[in-house]
């Protein structure tokens, strides 16, 4: 019964989650001055799923109007981005996901790959 409940809410025993997370594709924002790793907030990969319950303290700072560029370790099948709860018109070009920085707020990027999907997050601050 516990295993069924864990499966339904996306919680995976620690050993399985750590093994699967180690194989998830990383992503980072290239600000020109730094590479800021994005946090993984939930995922399903090779029939395993997880949702780490922490929040992302990672912060990305870019100039207003600059292009936010997310570099992915694998080429995505599709992707969508929200910043501060607003959908952004993001472009996928190979392993890069980009959109113009027009608002502050939490980044939530849903990225689907051939083996599963990952939701990446960070905090976006404009200057």
pTM of structure: 0.79
Q: Lowest-pLDDT range, 14-18, 22-26, 59-63, 93-97?
A: 14-18
Tokens 């502050």, residue located:
104
Q: How confident is the model at residue 79 (pLDDT cuts 50, 70, 90)?
A: very high
CATH architecture for the domain at 2-126? Sandwich (2.60)
Higher pLDDT: 4 or 71? It is: 71
Vertex 121, ends 15 and 101: CA angle to 5°? 165
**How far, CA to CA in Å, does 53 sit from each of 40, 59, 68, 118, 122?**
10, 18, 26, 14, 14
Write down the pLDDT at residue 40: 92
Angstrom distance (rounded) from CA 44 to CA 50 = 7
pLDDT 10s digits, 15-56: 444 444 458 999 999 888 888 999 999 999 999 999 976 666
């Amino acid at each position: 019964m516990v295993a069924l409940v864990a499966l339904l809410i996306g919680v995976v025993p620690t050993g399985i989650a750590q093994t699967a997370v180690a194989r998830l594709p990383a992503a980072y924002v290239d600000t020109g001055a730094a590479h800021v790793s994005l946090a993984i907030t939930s995922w399903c990969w090779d029939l395993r799923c997880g949702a780490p319950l922490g929040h992302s303290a990672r912060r990305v700072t870019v100039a207003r109007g600059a292009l936010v560029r997310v570099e992915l370790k694998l080429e995505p099948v599709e992707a969508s981005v929200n910043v501060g709860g607003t959908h952004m018109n993001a472009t996928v070009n190979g392993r890069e996901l980009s959109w113009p920085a027009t608002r502050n707020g939490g980044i939530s990027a849903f990225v689907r790959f051939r083996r599963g999907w990952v939701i990446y997050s960070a905090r976006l601050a404009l200057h």
